[in-house]
Chain A
Amino acid sequence: PATMPTLSVKRSRLNAALGRTYTDAEFDELCFEYGIELDDVTSEREEYLKSLPPGATPRRADLESKSEEVVYKIDLPANRYDLLCIEGLSRALRIFIGADAAAPTIRKVAGPHVMVVDSASTSTVRPYVVCAVLRGMKFDRTVYESFIDLQDQLHRNLCRNRTLVAIGTHDLGAVDATGPLRYDAQAPGGVRFVPLTHPDGTSFAADALLEHYATDPACKHLKPYVPIIRDSPLYPVVSDAAGSVLSLPPIINGHMSRITLDTSDVLIECTATDLTKANVVLDTVVCMFSGYCRDPFVVETVEVRYEGSDAPADVPGNSMITPALSTRTLEASVSTIASVVGVPSLTAEDVVRLCNKVQLSPASAEGDTLTCTVGPVRSDVLHPIDVAEDIGIAYGFNNIERKVPKTCTVGGEVGIGRLGDLLREEISRAGYTEVLTHGLTSLADNYTSLLRPVGTDAVSLSNPANIEYEVVRTTLLPGLLKTLQHNRSASFAHGMKLFEISDVVLRDDQHVVCDTVVGARNVRRICAVYSGPTAGFEIVHGLVDRIMTLCEVGPEEEYVATSNDEEGKFRVAREGWSYIIKEAEAEGEGGTDCRSYFPGRGAVVMLTNPTLGKRKVIGHFGALHPEILENFTVGYPTSAMEMDLEVLL
């Protein structure tokens, strides 16, 4: 699915991190058990070859510059942010396979730095910021790339393309931190700095910079983020004690504080419109990379202090010490877990042992109560049920004994579905071929090509994929006509008969379903066409009569009197139900739909029943106007019928 994040890792690096060498098949199996997917086994060179247009010959120099090292592409669940880098993935897998007992606990050390927030300005555009400092980081090329990649992954997923949270990382050694750092929002013209994209030293004012990113092809990777703040009167700015710009969230960092392979102390700042997510993002980066610090797994906290009016309500006392690295204990019932997973024999000891496999440790159990630890890498755990799932995964889903729910229930079909299915059988017996056509259509196909005025009864889309699919159909006829059009090379000599029983959708502000009014309702219809050497008006007429007979609706006296009805004495009819056919008039009860029929060759079907009352129009039929046949490129005279089905229930 489009929302599944993918991590690319070198196979050799992964095996080294896991502490053993897996074959591709073995690793695939491990992924299956854990709940991730080995989507592709490839290499830089293979990816390059795949990216070439078909038939193109790669240049030898280009080819040889691409590595042949095997790369795994692993699909990850959308709610596990800790797996988005090799550091987190290998940690999780090592614990799962038993190579490690538990994840390292990150220790917080109070740091001297303060981030002062001017809440009056930031509250208008991007109210939150959380920060952390990692001391003595050792960056080599691999670690550096992993560090950047994790930020990209988080930006794409949890941060919703930087709209919710944006991460800025800085070389603290290049920052003036002799006084408080500052986060505020300023008038775009007044913010000047050299951005990361311009190592040549060109400085820009923020508004000019956004224009540049919106238009310059070399910076097109930044263009999607421009709209996030472009129209705001104030742009968010992170600056140091001397007032130098560190970053312009969520767009770009400054060149001055850029991270290089020589960087030792790192400042991380996450600005956001959602505090919960900002904390998850910062905690994830810290948990994944503090292992590279001089003091491994130690992070230095920063005080975030709101000054001025409009401080957010969810920052108690207008101050926070970040990163939060929130850890909580969660209690769950062992017997409930065993019941959910479906392994009644699971004991408290089993459950504790399984918790340790899935990063929910430390865990302990007293009687029926399990107490486990939900640390900062497990922001996906919202409820004890999340623990139950992880226990199930650790136990192995495919080890669970199959059962079937014991309670007996009675099955059945929805009434209108059953009626439709019964009619399908009968109509097919009459020689009609069934079709299944699209619910989305164009205004032309739904109205004007049928010689009907564009109505206000159709549901229209805000974001149609293209003009062919801009409204939801209010009639089944275009689908049938387009099917005739597509099959025009088939034989029509004996008449082509098609039908469809399906829904149309009409605007309706009164229709209630489950105490909800959305403003539209589905209507089940039957629609059929006959196309052949003659128009076949009497054939579709016959179909209407046949449907009524099948549904136990008798013809009115007036109607019977005009036709040859020998079998009438056998017909079964429901008390109070009857129907009649009347010629469609120009501005008659058939409405504008009957304009599709050749004048004098259209008719309306009127039903009388106890709920509807007397003679309500429920459908129509007739010989289609030749202009319609031209519009749909149908080469033979054609008749059609369309009728509501729910009224016949």
Chain B
Amino acid sequence: MQMGFMEMPTNKWVESSFWNFDSLFQPQSHPARDAHDTFFIKDPMFTKSVPEDYYERVKTMHEKGGSGSIGYRYNFKKEDAYKNLLRTHTTAVSSQMLYKLANQEGGFKPQRYFSIDRVFRNETMDATHLCEFHQVEGLVADYNLSLGDLIGTIETFFNKIGITQLRFKPAFNPYTEPSMEIFGYHPDLKTWTEIGNSGMFRPEMLRPMGLPENVRVIAWGLSLERPTMIKYRIKNIRDLFGHKVEMGRTRTAPVCRFDHSE
């Protein structure tokens, strides 16, 4: 918030595949949409309705492309788009915010958004993984943003939480291009480690929403649990989140600071 970011209303755990995947230009055949990775809902199984016109534009983009893209060229299925699920990332909400930003009264205006909230993945559980965890997400929508802006914003953010040495590595996400993995030199671990993911949302995602041609959206995200576990030297995620947390740990936890004078 100190950086001018507005919180997004993320109190929405049940999501449609449409917003969670399709609106982000993630194809319906993508492995992340498998039952192995995503929790699908039994009741209510299907979404009742999504914005009609926008749905058609998203479908066309997947099937045929447009706005300079050749699209994915496959048959887009309504049943797949309407499958309800527990959201796998808060990017589903980011997508809705950008859609609203594009269609608000008065038209698009530059904005910065953030969220910190829960997501659900059908992952193999182990010491550092549960099926629920929390994501931190930030995005900036403005005219003619560049990778330089993305790198600069990310550095400002991580500087505030004590990580000052950063490197960026080319990566792949279905919904961002360019994409970068963020690596930081962790002061506690004394080693370089991956600390987040980032990118510029694809035009195939932004144009059907109605965002103007020269508006670019840069975004980055990280999990909340992992950096917390590193900072407080917690080995098992169950010691941090859930009913197996020891009250003793909660009661003796220090105030959270990143500005120690050492």
A403-B148, A487-B246 known; A514 and B177 CB under 8 Å?
no
Per-residue interface assignment for chain A, residues 457 to 489, with 1 indicating a CB less than 8 Å from any chain B CB and 0 otherwise? 001111111000100100000010011011100
Q: Contacts A439-B120, A514-B96, A517-B49; is A409 near B7 (CB within 8 Å)?
A: no
B222 within 8 A of partner (CB): no
Q: How far is the CB of A2 from chain B (nearest CB, A)?
A: 7
Query: Are B149 and A509 in contact, CB atoms less than 8 angstroms apart?
Result: no
B112 interfacial by beta-carbon distance below 8 Å: yes
Inter-chain CA distance A37–B183, complex, in Å, is: 13
- CB of A519 within 8 Å of the partner chain: yes
Distance of A596 Cα from B80 Cα, bound (Å): 40
Assess whether B193 is interfacial by the CB under 8 Å rule: no
| Contacting residues, chain A, for B146 (C-beta < 8 A) | 339-342, 400, 403
Kindly state the separation between the CA atoms of A463 and B11 in the bound complex, as whole angstroms.
23
B58 at the interface (CB under 8 A from A): no
CA distance A401 to B168 in the complex (A): 12
Interface residues of A in 313-346 (CB under 8 A from B): 339-343
A393 contacts B148, CB within 8 Å?
A: no
B24 within 8 A of A: no
A residues in contact with B185, CB < 8 Å: none
Q: Complex: how many Å from CA A482 to CA B19?
A: 34
A141 at the interface (CB under 8 A from B): no
Shortest distance between the CB of A420 and any CB in chain B (Å): 10
- Closest residue of chain B to A406 (Cβ to Cβ) is B142
Is residue B235 contacting chain A, with contact meaning CB distance below 8 A?
Answer: no
Residues of B within 8 A of A522 (CB): 11-14
B174 to chain A, nearest CB (A): 8
B140 at the interface (CB under 8 A from A): yes
Whether, in the assembled complex, B152 has its beta carbon less than 8 Å from a beta carbon of chain A, the answer is: yes
B44 and A509 contact, CB distance less than 8 A: yes
- Tell whether, in the assembled complex, residue A410 and residue B6 are in contact, meaning their CB atoms are under 8 Å apart: yes
Interface residues of B in 236-259 (CB under 8 A from A): 241-248, 250-251
Q: Which residues of B contact A79 (CB under 8 A)?
A: 172, 174
Would you call B8 and A438 a contact (CB within 8 A)? no
Interchain CB contact (< 8 A) of A437 among B169, B242, B246, B251: B242
Contact assessment for A32 and B142 in the assembled complex, using a CB-CB cutoff below 8 Å: no
Within 8 A of B (CB), among A360-394: 382-386, 388-389, 392-393
- How many CB-defined contacts (below 8 Å) exist between A and B? 274
> Does A23 touch B at the CB level, under 8 Å?
no
B220 at the interface (CB under 8 A from A): no
> Quick one: which of B12, B45, B110, B245 contacts A409, CB cutoff 8 A?
B110
Residues of chain B within 8 A (CB-CB) of A483 are 243, 245, 247
**CB contact under 8 A between A472 and B35, given known A405-B153, A433-B250:** no
Cross-interface CB contact of B8 among A339, A343, A414, A505, cutoff 8 Å:
A414
Q: How far is the CA of A483 from the CA of B177 in the complex (A)?
A: 43
- Closest chain A residue to B66, Cβ basis: A383
Q: Which residue of B lies closest to A417 (CB)?
A: B7
Q: Given A342-B146, A490-B248, answer yes or no on A414-B41 (Cβ-Cβ < 8 Å).
A: no
Which listed residue, A405, A464, A487, touches B39 by the CB 8 Å rule?
A: A464
Decide if A545 is an interface residue (CB 8 Å cutoff).
no
In this complex, what residue of A is CB-closest to B170? A35
Partner pick for B156 among A404, A479, A490, CB 8 A cutoff: A404
List of A residues within 8 angstroms of B144 by Cβ? 339
Which residues of A (254-283) have their CB < 8 Å from a CB of B? 274, 276-277
Asked if A402 contacts B148 (CB within 8 A), the reply is: yes
Which chain A residue shows the least CB distance to B194?
A: A37
Known contacts A407-B142, A411-B6, A417-B7; decide if A2 and B31 are in contact (CB<8 Å). Answer: yes
Q: Decide yes or no whether B212 CB sits under 8 A from chain A.
A: no
Contact in complex: A435, B50 (CB < 8 Å) = no
Q: Nearest chain-A residue to B130 (Cβ)?
A: A438
Query: Can you name the residue of chain A whose Cβ is closest to the Cβ of B247?
Result: A487
Residues of A within 8 A of B50 (CB): 515-516
Q: Say whether A103 faces chain B, with CB atoms less than 8 Å apart.
A: no
Interface check A149, CB cutoff 8 A = no
User: Which residue of chain B is the closest to A524 with respect to CB atoms?
Assistant: B11
Of all chain A residues, the one with the shortest Cβ separation from B84 is: A518
Residues of B within 8 A of A563 (CB): none
A contact residues around B16 at 8 Å (CB): 516, 518
| Size bracket of the A interface | 35 or more
Question: B147 to A397, Cβ gap below 8 A?
Answer: yes
- Which residue from B2, B3, B71, B156 sits with its C-beta under 8 Å from A382? B71
Provided the pairs A389-B179, A460-B43, A461-B42 are in contact, do residues A398 and B148 lie with their beta carbons within 8 angstroms? no
Which bracket fits the contact residues of B?
35 or more
Known: A411-B6, A461-B39, A503-B11. Contact between A402 and B243, CB under 8 A? no
Q: Is the CB of A519 within 8 A of B48?
A: yes
Q: Give every chain B residue within 8 A of A438 (Cβ-Cβ).
A: 130, 132, 241-243
Q: Is A412 an interface residue (CB 8 A)?
A: yes
Whether B149 and A505, one on each chain, are in contact in the complex, defined by CB atoms closer than 8 angstroms, is no
**A434: Cβ under 8 A from any B Cβ:** yes
Complex Cα gap A509–B125 (Å): 33
CA distance in complex: A389, B18 (Å)? 26
B44-A433 in contact (CB<8A): no
Interface string of A493-522 (1 = CB under 8 A from B): 000101000010101010001111111111
A472 to B, closest residue via Cβ: B13
Which residues of chain B are within 8 angstroms of A434 by Cβ–Cβ distance? 250
Contacts of B151 in A (CB 8 A): 342, 397, 400, 402
Contact yes or no, A393 B170, CB < 8 A? yes
Q: Is the CB of A411 within 8 A of B148?
A: no
- Residue numbers in B under 8 Å from A274 (CB-CB): 29, 74
What is the CB-to-nearest-CB distance from B147 to chain A, in angstroms, rounded to a whole number? 5
List of A residues within 8 angstroms of B67 by Cβ: 383
Closest Cβ–Cβ distance, residue A549 to chain B (whole Å) = 25
CA distance A438 to B134 in the complex (A): 11
Chain A residues, Cβ within 8 Å of B3? 411
Q: Which of B35-88 contact A (CB under 8 A)?
A: 35-37, 39-51, 54, 65, 67-74, 84, 86
User: Smallest CB–CB gap between B50 and chain A, Å?
Assistant: 5
Q: Which residues of A contact B170 (CB under 8 A)?
A: 33-35, 389, 392-393, 397
A576 at the interface (CB under 8 A from B): no
Which of A401, A403, A405, A435 has its CB near the most chain B CB atoms (within 10 A)? A405
The CA-CA distance from A436 to B153 in the complex, in Å, is 30
Question: Which residue in B96, B155, B241 is a CB contact (below 8 Å) of A436?
Answer: B241
Tell me if B187 is interfacial: C-beta within 8 Å of chain A. Answer: no
Docked-complex contact A386 and B147, CB < 8 angstroms: no
B106 within 8 A of A: no
Say which residue of A343, A413, A440, A516 sits within 8 Å of B7 (CB atoms).
Answer: A413
Q: Are A437 and B42 in contact (CB under 8 A)?
A: no
Taking each of B12, B148, B200, which has the highest tally of chain A beta carbons within 10 Å of its own beta carbon?
A: B148
In chain B, positions 167-208 with a C-beta closer than 8 Å to chain A are 167-172, 174, 177-180, 200, 202-204
Q: Are the C-beta atoms of A385 and B177 separated by less than 8 Å?
A: yes
* B47, A519: Cβ atoms closer than 8 Å: yes
**Known A382-B70, A383-B177, A517-B48; further 9 A-B contacts with Cβ < 8 A:** A340-B147, A408-B4, A411-B1, A411-B6, A462-B42, A462-B45, A505-B14, A516-B49, A522-B14
* 9 cross-chain pairs, A with B, having the tightest CB-CB distances, nearest first: A342-B148, A35-B170, A342-B146, A519-B44, A77-B172, A482-B243, A389-B178, A402-B152, A411-B1
Chain A to chain B contacts (Cβ below 8 Å), 12 pairs: A160-B31, A340-B146, A383-B69, A397-B178, A402-B152, A413-B1, A464-B39, A469-B131, A483-B247, A486-B244, A509-B48, A517-B47
Chain A interface residues (CB < 8 Å from chain B): 2-3, 32-35, 37, 77-80, 160, 164, 274, 276-277, 339-343, 382-386, 388-389, 392-393, 397-398, 400-405, 407-414, 416-417, 433-440, 459-465, 469, 472, 479, 482-483, 485-487, 490, 496, 498, 503, 505, 507, 509, 513-522, 524
